[in-house]
A = this chain, B = another copy of it.
Amino acid sequence: MKTPKMIMLPENEMPRQWYNIVADMPVQPQPMLNPQTRKPLLPEEMEGLFAKGLVEQEFSQKRWHDIPDEVRELYKSYRPTPLVRAYALEKALDTPARIYYKNESVSPVGSHKLNSALPQAYYNHIQGITSITTETGAGQWGSAMSIACRHFGLKLEVFMVKNSYNAKPYRKVVMKTYGADVYASPCDLTQYGKKVLSEDPTNGGSLGIAISEAVERAVTQPNTRYTLGSVLSHVLMHQTIIGLEAEKQMEMAGEYPDKVIACFGGGSNFSGISFPFLRHKFTEGRNVKLIAAEPAACPKLTKGKLEYDFGDTAGMTPLIPMYTLGHDFQPEQIHAAGLRYHGGGRIVSQLKQDGYLDSCAIEQKEAFDAGILFARSEGIIPAPESTHAIAATIREALKARESGKSEVILFNLSGHGFLDLGAYEQYV
């Protein structure tokens, strides 16, 4: 029987737990360090910045974590998301590869980011926190936190990279429509922002700077915590719902992926779709190849070094063992603003070090060509970030055409591009 184009998972089959890959990793990731003492960071040292429930997950060695009922209820407004067999893309590429994608663009904010925003808001809420700060690059994470905070009655301040703030004016409208306060970072609301601006009044910002501002703001305001949309282990764990669903849906299609591909900024959507498959490699030796698609302008896994580095530009965060281009690295402006982060997170970096994942660097032109081919075949305009995953998929599918090898490729469509059409304008 022919595989249907759309493979829908019944709502009652939506996973009830997130998967924590740390429990199965052959080599444990190095700990974060307190930058003053250079000693391993203790959970209590993170609790001034993050909600306790999230800190507990960050340090957890437990394989499975229950998804709270309140979060599951909110997930149900858009999950399970569809798994789609990309018949039209396969045809356009004339490839023997069978291509599937998980469509996370169907979330009400248009990306996978809501998967972690909801639990992050929830754990802050149940702790009695009343106010949240965060940063956002492209605006996907900020949009997701805006509606998540609204659901749980939390106030939210978003520090948005100034260049993106100006280049993507509609993103702030989304956040404000949901009720958040949005600032173009660097700004004079923080000491660090003031310092950056005094040295360079025209500074267009970066994710690292925006994180510094959001962190400073969180620790200086009453009953406030900070939230991060990627990199950290608890964020990656929340996103595993993508891959856990995809695993069931692939099974419904009678398939298992040879390759799992996602774009890579800080690792959230990449880890989300791939870790549940990697677990079978760890536990049963089942083979799967993971490919992180990075922008050529910010290739931390492809060209960075594994070392201790700060998560932000100001050096206010713990030291994180990660593949990094340096916490003061300033990537050039690319449309995929969500991929302009200098480092890769503890877990992903350890896995890369140990040979469990590959990466590739994609030039912007190749990414947009892939995005337009995808739009014209599959009908969905992808986010600039997601076009990198599509481009990497196309590379693999064309290799399969060359070799005549029939293989199964699964990639994550992390979001749609309706809020990034200014980027497409230059290509059509």
Contacts and interface: CB of A to CB of B under 8 A. Distances in A.
A72 to B, nearest CB: 11
Given A108-B378, A177-B372, 6 more contacts: A4-B76, A8-B8, A173-B421, A174-B381, A177-B376, A179-B376
Interface in A374-428: 375-376, 378-381, 418-419, 421-422, 424-425, 427-428
A110 interface: yes
A202 interface: no
A309 B165 CA distance: 48
A428 B8 contact: no
Interface residues of A, number: 41
Contacts of A366: none
Given A177-B424, A418-B418, A421-B174, A5 B379 contact: no
Given A106-B106, A169-B425, A421-B170, A177 B73 contact: no
A356 interface: no
Most buried by B among A10, A73, A147, A179: A147
Contacts of A170: 418, 421-422, 425
B379 A151 contact: yes
Contacts of A427: 177
Interface in A150-198: 150-151, 169-170, 173-174, 176-179
17 contacts: A4-B11, A77-B379, A108-B380, A108-B381, A109-B379, A147-B376, A150-B376, A169-B421, A170-B425, A173-B421, A173-B428, A177-B375, A177-B421, A177-B424, A178-B376, A178-B379, A419-B421
A84 interface: yes
A381 B178 CA distance: 9
Which 3 A-B pairs give the minimum distances between C-beta atoms? A170-B421, A176-B428, A418-B418
A6 B428 contact: no
Contact of A418 (B88, B151, B179, B419): B419
A88 B10 CA distance: 23
Contacts of A173: 421-422, 424-425, 428
A108 B428 contact: no
A422 B419 CA distance: 11
A8 B421 CA distance: 30
A8 B76 CA distance: 10
Nearest to A148: B379
A114 to B, nearest CB: 8
A259 to B, nearest CB: 23
A139 to B, nearest CB: 11
Contacts of A422: 170, 173
Contacts of A4: 11, 76
